[in-house]
Amino acid sequence: MKQQFDAGKIADDLQSLIHHAEELLRATADSASESATNARERAEESLSAVRARLADFQDEVKGRARAVDDYVTDNPWTAVAVVGGIALILGLLMGRK
């Protein structure tokens, strides 16, 4: 069985991963070794970069979803025709052996 791509689930998983990594960094803040301090600083920088990219990705996806919604609202019959055409093509391709 194929898994479906779910951008919302991936975003939630990434946010959870970031949260747990931040907890780990706070828990290991007492470590005084230089290598641990350097690793913690690099991890914090990476987490900040991932958090920023995730926020940008979410904003972009929301913007595109709004644009699609606006287009479908403004042009419902065109949207129905496009979806019908895509379904017809997929049906023809899947029916071939």
Q: Considering the domain boundaries, does residue 2 fall inside one?
A: no
Q: Considering the domain boundaries, does residue 74 fall inside one?
A: yes
Structure-block tokens of residue 38: 């350097």
Residues 44 and 25 sit within 8 Å (Cβ to Cβ)? yes
Of residues 68 and 29, which shows the higher confidence score? 68
Residue 90: per-residue pLDDT: 93
Total tally of structural domains belonging to the chain: 1
What would the pLDDT profile of 38-88 be if each residue is shown by its tens digit?
777 787 788 788 888 888 888 888 899 899 889 889 989 998 999 999 999
Q: Considering the domain boundaries, does residue 1 fall inside one?
A: no
What would the pLDDT profile of 3-23 be if each residue is shown by its tens digit?
555 667 777 777 787 777 877
Say what the pTM is: 0.53
Identity (one letter) of the amino acid at 70? D
Q: Considering the domain boundaries, does residue 69 fall inside one?
A: yes
